[in-house]
Amino acid sequence: MFEAHFQTFEDPEGGVALTARLAAFREELVRRQLTGFVIPRADRQQNEYVPPSEERLAWLTGFTGSAGLAVVLATEAAVFVDGRYTLQAAQQVDVRAWSIASLADPPPESWLAEHLTADDRLGYDPWLHTSAAVERLATACTKAGAELVPVESNPVDSIWTDRPAPPLGPVTIHGATFAGEAEADKLARIRTEMTKLGVDALVLSDSHAVAWTFNIRGADVSHTPLPLSYAVVPKDGRPTIFIDTRKLSNSARDHLERNAEVREPDELTDALTQTAQSGAAIALDKATAADALSRLITSAGGKPVRGNDPVALLKAVKNQTEIEGARAAHRRDAVALARFLAWIDREAPKGTLTEIDAVEALETFRRETGALKDVSFPTISGTGPNGAIVHYRVTRMSNRRIVPGDLLLIDSGGQYEDGTTDVTRTIAIGTPTDEMRDRFTRVLRGHIAIARAMFPDGTTGAQLDTLARQFLWQAGIDFDHGTGHGVGSYLSVHEGPARISKLGTTPLKRGMILSNEPGYYKRDGFGIRIENLVLVTAAEIAHAEKPMNGFETLTLAPIDRRLIDHRISKKELMWLNDYHARVRREVRPHLDEATKLWLDAATEPLP
Q: Domain ends where: 284, 308, 332?
A: 308
Q: Please state the rounded mean pLDDT for residues 277-296.
A: 97
For residue 359, the model assigns a pLDDT of 97
- Rounded to whole angstroms, the Cα distance separating 533 from 552 reads 9
Farthest CA pair distance, the chain: 73
Q: What is the DSSP string of 435-493?
A: HHHHHHHHHHHHHHHHHT--EETT-BHHHHHHHHHHHHHTTT---SS-SEEE--SSS-S
CA 229 to chain centre: 19
Give the pLDDT confidence of 2-37 residue by residue, as tens digits.
555 688 787 766 655 688 899 999 999 999 999 999
- Rounded to whole angstroms, the Cα distance separating 590 from 583 reads 11
Closest CA to 60 of 110, 101, 97: 97
Angle CA(452)–CA(455)–CA(460) in degrees, nearest 5? 110
For residue 566, the model assigns a pLDDT of 83
186 & 300 share domain: yes
Structural domain count of the chain: 3
153 & 183 share domain: no
Closest CA to 376 of 322, 415, 324: 415
142 & 57 share domain: yes
Q: Which amino acid is located at 435 in the chain?
A: E
Q: Domain ends where: 287, 308, 329?
A: 308
- Rounded to whole angstroms, the Cα distance separating 316 from 208 reads 11
359 & 259 share domain: no
Q: Please state the rounded mean pLDDT for residues 117-124.
A: 96
Question: What's the CATH code of the domain at 468?
Answer: 3.90.230.10
- Rounded to whole angstroms, the Cα distance separating 381 from 394 reads 7
Contact between 469 and 479 under an 8 Å Cβ cutoff? The reply is yes
Instruction: Give the sign of the dihedral formed by CA 352, CA 357, CA 361, CA 362.
Output: positive
Task: Characterize 400-433 residue by residue with b for buried, 16 or more Cβ atoms within 10 angstroms of its Cβ, and e for exposed.
Answer: bebbeebbbbbbbbbbbbbbbbbbbbbbbbeebe
Assess whether pLDDT exceeds 70 at residue 1. no
pLDDT confidence tier of residue 567, bands split at 50, 70 and 90: confident
Q: Which amino acid is located at 268 in the chain?
A: L
What dihedral angle (degrees, nearest 10) is formed by the CA atoms of 402, 590, 174, 252? Answer: 90
Q: Which amino acid is located at 446 in the chain?
A: G
Q: Please state the rounded mean pLDDT for residues 191-201.
A: 98
Does 536 fall in a domain?
Answer: yes
Give the pLDDT confidence of 545-560 residue by residue, as tens digits.
999 999 999 999 999 9
Does 605 fall in a domain?
Answer: no
Please give the residue range of the domain that contains residue 65.
Answer: 16-159
456 & 495 share domain: yes
Q: How much is the pTM?
A: 0.94
Does 64 fall in a domain?
Answer: yes
Angle CA(105)–CA(106)–CA(112) in degrees, nearest 5? 150
- Residues in contact with 143: Cβ distance below 8 Å, sequence separation at least 6, in sequence order: 113
Does 601 fall in a domain?
Answer: no
Residue 178 parent element (H or E): helix 176-179
For residue 384, the model assigns a pLDDT of 96
Closest CA to 211 of 241, 238, 185, 168: 241
